[in-house]
Chains A and B, each alone.
Chain A
Amino acid sequence: MTLWAGMRSALRALRVNKLRTALTMLGIIIGVSAVIAMVSVGAGAQGRIAEQIRSMGSNLIVIVPGSQTSGGFRYGLGSQQTLTEDDARAIGVEVPAVEVAAPTVRGSAQVVYGNSNWSTVIQGVTPDYLVAREWSVRNGRMFGQEDVDSAAKVAVVGQTVAEQLFGDSDPVGQTIRIKKVPFALVGVLEAKGQSSFGQDQDDLVMIPLTTAKKKVLGTTVQSNPRAVRDISVRVRDASLMAEAQEQMRSLLRQRHHLQAGQDDDFSVRVLADIFAAQEESARVMTMLLAAIASVSLLVGGIGIMNIMLVSVTERTREIGLRMAVGARGRDILAQFLVEAVTLSIAGGLVGIVLGVGTSATIASLAQWTTEVSPEAVALAFAFSGLVGVFFGFYPAQKASRLDPIEALRYE
């Protein structure tokens, strides 16, 4: 008997008891759709993190001030201002693997335009910052090195700030005030969206580093005027990351006059590594969700086994007749196995449709990114077929071992 003929006779047998078939399939339908929906949620989270890495620039290293021991006290990470503009310049010049090293200062302030105002992050940067962060200006221009050198009162705003202060009108060429200092707005940044930590990366104003220090953020009492909050470094190539890290570290140790055995007073952070860890945890979550969803697929399989056992009992006479006219054990086995697999695969197909639908619903209702991967669909489908084989085998084997005489007489 060909597989096709087997499928057709299986479909006919399944059509006889439509409600029962539908209820049996429901277990597989729920299982497969749950697997697909859950994996799509997990994959969506992973995808968002991967997107983050791309938006951050994969070759980005951020150096922040580290703990410092002073008079027996160890100060926390970032609490000290151990990094300077000169450190940044030295890195840019002396470490060959580094493309740019952009020093940054940061603070928050109220930004005013006309009668609207907005509290936002003020970043003092050099034009290199956009290179390091793989960022660009959407509208207008970025201020140049000459603006930094002359401490010009020019500013570039992020998407969110532009919307809050200017609504639909074009901000370029307007004047905004930061801490009462007027700034000429020269550009609007490309939207970057939320960071993986949930911060709005577009809610900021960039002004030249020098201007920020002298006119807006000022310098803290204890520190030197050259201090910066962090240094964003872009490495020329991903393969040079480790080398760049090591070279920067020894350069900074040397510049900071650290003795051997003394801790670094700075910390070098490879953002890609941090995100890779996050991505890994998202992946684990995906697998966990898939595993939980698979349990329902298993329960569906038990439902199939149950109904196939009932079916074998009901059709004992049919089995006896088939044996009498020449069906061998394996013919009967194949018949019931094909029936079980048809049941589970049909359930799998409906489950795929339902799962894709569910994941779209989750995406639109919960505002989550979901991603239906073809691999997950194929896997769930294959798994549903496997469930059919696994749970269909015992009833099919039972059928194939019936005694033809007793089966023919069965009432």
Chain B
Amino acid sequence: MADALVVVAEISKTYGEGDHAVHALRGVSLEIRVGEFVAIMGPSGSGKSTFMNLLGCLDTPTSGEYLLDGQDVARLSRDQLAVVRNRKLGFVFQSFNLLPRTSALENVELPLLYGGTPPAERRARALARLRQLGLAERAAHHPSQLSGGQQQRVAIARALVNEPRLILADEPTGNLDTRTSMDIMAIFQGLNHEGITVVLVTHEEDIARYASRIIAFRDGRVRSDTVVPDPVDAAAALAALPKEDAA
């Protein structure tokens, strides 16, 4: 298919050798097309984290093929993978992973720093992303001066700043309250509507129902792969929340 962004074929990952080998992934094949919003679910030990690491080019598979945006990335070296991550991927983590004692702006600039973008352009692009996420006034603040939701917005801005082909979010709402979680999911939905492909790992059904496709993992294999015809609109759900919940 022409607009397939991710193509994995019979991908497997084994840790250790011989009797002690742990088969984290046992042959997974799937495709993710440009513009999809995929939620990956599964209990711990199901292989979803391993799959996420492979998808994020943080690791290479033991066997199988992985084409990201048409490029074979299954056999790249560490440094080559770093370049792929820098150019094509954006990460959002459960614990935000912002650099402490570093301003929001500089945190957002980080991927551009390693991409070799000149300082002035770096600043302008990072600021534009912060503005997009409603944090232009907080650009000079350090993470410790920001709320959890604001920190995650900074992290999203950082994931977006190098205009990646794919956003990978690993339990992005795991450390947030319900209202803030909805807010963050609304952002992901908004980005998805603009055409950005998002892959989200979560174990919460509530969060997964915002996605347009849910892939469930179990014992290192895909157990189910369902298209959600009419995902819940996070912004509408947020507006429907009772007012007294407002922080």
A interface, CB within 8 angstroms of B: 1, 5, 12, 16, 317-318, 320-331, 404-405, 408
Contact B101 A16 (CB under 8 A): yes
Q: Which residues of B contact A324 (CB under 8 A)?
A: 56, 58, 85, 91, 97
Contact A321 B83 (CB under 8 A): no
Q: For residue B183, give the distance in angstroms from its CB to the closest CB of chain A.
A: 23
The one of A5, A326, A404, A405 in contact with B111, judged by C-beta atoms closer than 8 angstroms, is A326
B78 at the interface (CB under 8 A from A): yes
Q: For residue B60, give the distance in angstroms from its CB to the closest CB of chain A.
A: 11
Known interface pairs A317-B97, A323-B82, A328-B79; A405-B53 also in contact (CB < 8 Å): yes
Lowest 3 CB-CB distances: which A-B pairs, in order?
Answer: A326-B86, A326-B114, A325-B111
Known interface pairs A323-B82, A404-B58, A405-B53; A328-B91 also in contact (CB < 8 Å): no
B30 at the interface (CB under 8 A from A): no
B36 at the interface (CB under 8 A from A): no
Binary A-proximity of B47-82 (CB < 8 A = 1, otherwise 0): 000000100101100000000000000000011001
In the complex, chain B residues 107-142 whose Cβ is within 8 Å of any chain A Cβ: 110-111, 113-115, 119
Q: For residue A212, give the distance in angstroms from its CB to the closest CB of chain B.
A: 84
Q: Which residues of A contact B87 (CB under 8 A)?
A: 326
Q: Which residues of A contact B119 (CB under 8 A)?
A: 5
Known interface pairs A321-B99, A405-B59, A408-B93; A326-B79 also in contact (CB < 8 Å): no
Can you list 30 A-B pairs with a CB-CB distance of less than 8 A? Answer: A1-B113, A5-B113, A5-B119, A12-B102, A320-B97, A321-B93, A321-B97, A321-B110, A323-B58, A323-B82, A323-B85, A324-B56, A324-B85, A324-B97, A325-B86, A325-B91, A325-B114, A325-B158, A326-B85, A326-B86, A326-B114, A326-B162, A327-B82, A328-B78, A328-B82, A328-B114, A329-B79, A330-B79, A408-B58, A408-B97
Task: Name which of A323, A324, A325, A330 has the most chain B CB atoms within 10 A of its CB.
Answer: A325
Contact A12 B93 (CB under 8 A): no
Q: Which residues of B contact A408 (CB under 8 A)?
A: 58, 93, 97
- Rounded to whole angstroms, the CA-CA distance of A320 and B56 in the bound complex is 13
Given contacts A12-B101, A323-B82, A325-B86, 7 further A-B contacts (CB under 8 A): A317-B97, A318-B100, A322-B110, A322-B114, A326-B82, A330-B79, A331-B114
Closest A residue, CB atoms, query B79? A328
Q: Which residues of B contact A330 (CB under 8 A)?
A: 79
* Dominant secondary structure of chain B at its interface with chain A: helix
* Dominant secondary structure of chain A at its interface with chain B: helix
In the complex, chain B residues 178-205 whose Cβ is within 8 Å of any chain A Cβ: none
Closest B residue, CB atoms, query A13? B101
Q: Which residues of A contact B113 (CB under 8 A)?
A: 1, 5
Q: For residue A322, give the distance in angstroms from its CB to the closest CB of chain B.
A: 7
- Rounded to whole angstroms, the CA-CA distance of A1 and B117 in the bound complex is 9
Contact B58 A326 (CB under 8 A): no
- Rounded to whole angstroms, the CA-CA distance of A408 and B96 in the bound complex is 11
- Rounded to whole angstroms, the CA-CA distance of A404 and B113 in the bound complex is 18
Closest B residue, CB atoms, query A400? B78
- Rounded to whole angstroms, the CA-CA distance of A408 and B155 in the bound complex is 14
The one of A5, A16, A326, A405 in contact with B115, judged by C-beta atoms closer than 8 angstroms, is A326
- Rounded to whole angstroms, the CA-CA distance of A331 and B113 in the bound complex is 10
- Rounded to whole angstroms, the CA-CA distance of A93 and B114 in the bound complex is 84
Contact A328 B111 (CB under 8 A): no
Q: Which residues of A contact B79 (CB under 8 A)?
A: 328-330
Closest A residue, CB atoms, query B53? A405
Q: Which residues of A contact B111 (CB under 8 A)?
A: 325-326
Contact A325 B53 (CB under 8 A): no
- Rounded to whole angstroms, the CA-CA distance of A408 and B94 in the bound complex is 11
Q: For residue B59, give the distance in angstroms from its CB to the closest CB of chain A.
A: 6
Q: For residue B169, give the distance in angstroms from its CB to the closest CB of chain A.
A: 13
- Rounded to whole angstroms, the CA-CA distance of A16 and B53 in the bound complex is 32
Binary A-proximity of B184-228 (CB < 8 A = 1, otherwise 0): 000000000000000000000000000000000000000000000
Q: Which residues of A contact B58 (CB under 8 A)?
A: 323-324, 404-405, 408
The one of A318, A328, A329, A331 in contact with B99, judged by C-beta atoms closer than 8 angstroms, is A318
- Rounded to whole angstroms, the CA-CA distance of A320 and B78 in the bound complex is 13
Q: For residue B148, give the distance in angstroms from its CB to the closest CB of chain A.
A: 17
Q: For residue A399, give the distance in angstroms from its CB to the closest CB of chain B.
A: 13
- Rounded to whole angstroms, the CA-CA distance of A320 and B95 in the bound complex is 13
Closest A residue, CB atoms, query B59? A405
Q: Which residues of A contact B99 (CB under 8 A)?
A: 318, 321
- Rounded to whole angstroms, the CA-CA distance of A326 and B110 in the bound complex is 9
Q: Which residues of A contact B82 (CB under 8 A)?
A: 323, 326-329
Contact A328 B110 (CB under 8 A): no
- Rounded to whole angstroms, the CA-CA distance of A270 and B91 in the bound complex is 81
Contact A325 B101 (CB under 8 A): no
Q: For residue B163, give the distance in angstroms from its CB to the closest CB of chain A.
A: 13
Q: Which residues of B contact A327 (CB under 8 A)?
A: 82, 114
Q: Which residues of B contact A323 (CB under 8 A)?
A: 58, 82, 85
Task: Name which of A318, A323, A326, A330 has the most chain B CB atoms within 10 A of its CB.
Answer: A326
- Rounded to whole angstroms, the CA-CA distance of A405 and B55 in the bound complex is 12
Q: Which residues of B contact A317 (CB under 8 A)?
A: 97
Task: Name which of B58, B83, B93, B100 has the most chain A CB atoms within 10 A of its CB.
Answer: B58
- Rounded to whole angstroms, the CA-CA distance of A1 and B56 in the bound complex is 23
Q: Which residues of B contact A321 (CB under 8 A)?
A: 93, 97, 99, 110
Q: Which residues of A contact B86 (CB under 8 A)?
A: 325-326
Closest A residue, CB atoms, query B118? A2
